[in-house]
Amino acid sequence: MANEIIPAVIISVDTFLFAAAYRSSGIKIPLFSAFVISFICAFVFGISIYLSSVFGNLISESLCRISGTLVMVAIGILAIGKSAVRNAVKHLNGENKLSVKMCGLNFVIQLYLDDTAADTDNSKILSPREAVTLAVAGSLDSMATGLGCGISGINPLVSAFFTFVIGCIAIFLGSVTGRKISSLKHDLSWTGGLLLIIFAVASYNS
């Protein structure tokens, strides 16, 4: 059971942090939008685990463990790198925005660096449509983590369930503690990457 809960908690770290960023910016996340975000992340995570487990049946157990560990470590490193980029851009520009305009690329980069960019209509309320955009962007990490975890043999349905529940809790906690988190003035998304690397190594050695 711990193998299903721990990845869900790790994935929800980013969910907690973007919810905190929204609270700090005065943007409300309605209950339905929170459900949409958590459901999409959980669905993508569960499907990724299933597809990975199917692929894992085609190769040896030892290769599965090594592959799963390498994938999760790689995603953890990328998450730490993303946090470093965010902190660097914020230090240079005074905000989490990088102005690049090329065939709509500006929005993608801005959303990557600043989660609150999903509030495209500046209504200060995250609509379900905007929640889908944010969830799809955030699900890339869930998909990659699922591919790594699936090779390790965890249950996709149980993992998806815990990801949904913990994701909803993370949004609530982030909405409550947003101003305190933002007062730290540093991007903390690297914590999720570090936890994923620790989990990958611990799972491989277990």
Q: What is the per-residue pLDDT for 179?
A: 64
Distance between first and last Cα of the chain: 14
* Mean pLDDT along residues 113-125: 67
Checking if the pLDDT of 117 tops 90, the result is no
Helices and strands per DSSP (H, E), number in the chain? 7, 0
What is the band of 93 on the pLDDT scale with cuts at 50, 70, 90? low
* Mean pLDDT along residues 127-133: 86
- Phi and psi at 127, nearest 5°, equal -75, 165
Global pTM?
0.76
Q: What is the per-residue pLDDT for 69?
A: 78
**Residues 7-44: pLDDT tens digits?**
888 888 888 888 887 887 788 889 999 999 999 999 99
146 is in which domain, residue-wise? 2-23+30-205
**Residues 141-195: pLDDT tens digits?**
788 778 777 666 688 899 999 999 999 999 999 888 876 665 556 667 778 788 8
Cβ atoms within 10 Å of 2's Cβ, excluding its own = 9
178/111 Cα distance (integer angstroms): 18
Q: What is the per-residue pLDDT for 183?
A: 56
Where is pLDDT greater, at 45 or 152?
A: 45
Q: What is the per-residue pLDDT for 106?
A: 46
Please state the domain count of the chain.
Answer: 1
Q: What is the per-residue pLDDT for 39?
A: 95
Q: What is the per-residue pLDDT for 160?
A: 92
* Mean pLDDT along residues 74-90: 76
Strands (E), the chain: none
